[in-house]
Chains A and B, each alone.
Chain A
Amino acid sequence: ELKVEQNPLFLSMQEGKNYTIYCNYSTTSDRLYWYRQDPGKSLESLFVLLSNGAVKQEGRLMASLDTKARLSTLHITAAVHDLSATYFCAVDKIGSSNTGKLIFGQGTTLQVKP
């Protein structure tokens, strides 16, 4: 069974600092996704990573994928308060039993303090 684990689950950091969120998954997956969720809101798609070595950046966030290690990282550079949210990684697999199904990690709640 495909499982996804994130760490840390909670991260409190100062503005201007850098940090990394880790996402491990248990078996070979086909694609990896990062989402952001603000309190009381829905999920916003951040990145889609399709292949080994894929790296994507948007503003202060950069996501990478290492399929051999079954690991994705979300790196935060010079954090600002607006990045405070919960971040989820999710994976899926091609195949009839997994159609349309994303397996989510537990989420990492990021709190950026001024």
Chain B
Amino acid sequence: KAGVTQTPRYLIKTRGQQVTLSCSPISGHRSVSWYQQTPGQGLQFLFEYFSETQRNKGNFPGRFSGRQFSNSRSEMNVSTLELGDSALYLCASSLARWGPEGDNEQFFGPGTRLTVL
């Protein structure tokens, strides 16, 4: 079974530009979550999508947005890039089993490393 894939793997942008990152979840997974990883702040939750709906959002400015398509693939967009947006952006997918006996084990993609100059 193919894992989570993310494209591109590396990006270099300049301040003020915008960027779109793509994520394809594991087949059958309908939930996609995005995280930002930096040395200073660690792993921080950005947002989660399920069935094309954003169900949860972390404490990030409105410059960070995302969407999910009917095939569960997801994209995130960052507009007006700032130096502090340089990070590893990780996408994770899960079966989103929320019942008492279920788990929300998330499987992570390889990440997109964004550098803002």
Interface residues of A (CB under 8 A from B): 31, 33, 35, 41-45, 48, 50, 88, 90, 92, 94, 96-107
Contacts and interface: CB of A to CB of B under 8 A. Distances in A.
A86 B111 CA distance: 16
B77 interface: no
A102 B42 contact: no
Interface residues of B, number: 28
Nearest to A98: B56
Contacts, number: 68
B110 A100 contact: no
Interface in B32-83: 33, 35, 42-45, 48-50, 55-56, 58
A41 B48 CA distance: 22
Nearest to B57: A101
Given A31-B103, A88-B43, A96-B55, A101 B108 contact: no
A100 B105 contact: no
A100 B96 CA distance: 7
A103 B98 contact: no
Contacts of B108: 35, 42-45
A99 B105 contact: no
B56 A101 contact: yes
